């Protein structure tokens, strides 16, 4: 399958026009990880943003799995946005094929595509709401 077809199925890119998806496909490198491989480590710095093409990964914070990711999901945006440490550890739970871009490619891409910025905001706000309601429960 052509890269842009895979990217068209990624909800984050759903509003990106097909010509732009083609360009994006050229900018995103294929990255593969073996089952069990650690891709990001909570607290450490990192330079990659990834979209999953095939396979699954787990997201853990403080050794607890908070989310499982699969085809069409993305990860690695947090540390690239604020240039801080990784907020979670992401591990490949199967063999995993991703498309990745570096921090210095990610920012210009998001700035050129406000529709992607909006989709990212939605995801981040969703996570904020979850975190806030979890805090209220335990208060
Ligand atoms: P980053 O902090 O760069 O690296 C770890 C990634 O895990 C993070 O970006 C997000 O993409 C992802 N992540 C962190 N917390 C959550 C969560 N609660 N739900 C889903 N994904 C998360």
What count of residues does the chain have?
139
In this prediction, residues 38-63 reach a mean pLDDT of 97
In this prediction, residues 54-63 reach a mean pLDDT of 97
Using alpha carbons, select from 104, 54, 98 the residue that is nearest to residue 75: 98
CA distance 124 to 24: 22
Query: What are the pLDDT digits (tens) for 63-92?
Result: 999 999 999 999 999 999 999 999 999 999
| Ligand 1: residue whose CA is nearest its atom 9 | 76
* Per-residue pLDDT at 33 exceeds 80: yes
State the closest ligand 1 atom to the C-alpha of 66, by its place in the atom list counted from 1. 18
Q: Rounded to an integer, what is the distance from CA 108 to the centroid of its chain?
A: 16
Confidence (pLDDT) at 138: 66
Determine the residue of 73, 85, 90 to mutate for testing ligand 1's pocket, defined as the one with the most ligand atoms within 8 A of the Cβ atom.
90
Using alpha carbons, select from 84, 58, 54, 85 the residue that is nearest to residue 69: 58
């Amino acid at each position: 399958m052509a890269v842009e077809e895979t990217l068209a199925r990624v909800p984050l890119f759903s509003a990106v026009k097909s010509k732009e998806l083609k360009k994006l496909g050229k900018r995103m490198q294929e990255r593969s990880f073996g089952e069990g491989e650690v891709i990001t480590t909570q607290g450490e710095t990192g330079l990659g943003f990834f979209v999953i093409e095939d396979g699954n990964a787990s997201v853990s914070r403080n050794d607890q799995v908070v989310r499982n990711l699969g085809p069409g999901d993305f990860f690695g945006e947090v540390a690239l946005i604020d240039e801080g440490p990784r907020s979670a550890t992401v591990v490949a739970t199967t063999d995993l094929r991703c498309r990745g871009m570096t921090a210095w490619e990610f920012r210009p891409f998001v700035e050129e595509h406000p529709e992607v910025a909006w989709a990212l905001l939605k995801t981040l706000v969703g996570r904020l709401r979850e975190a806030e309601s979890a805090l209220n429960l335990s208060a």
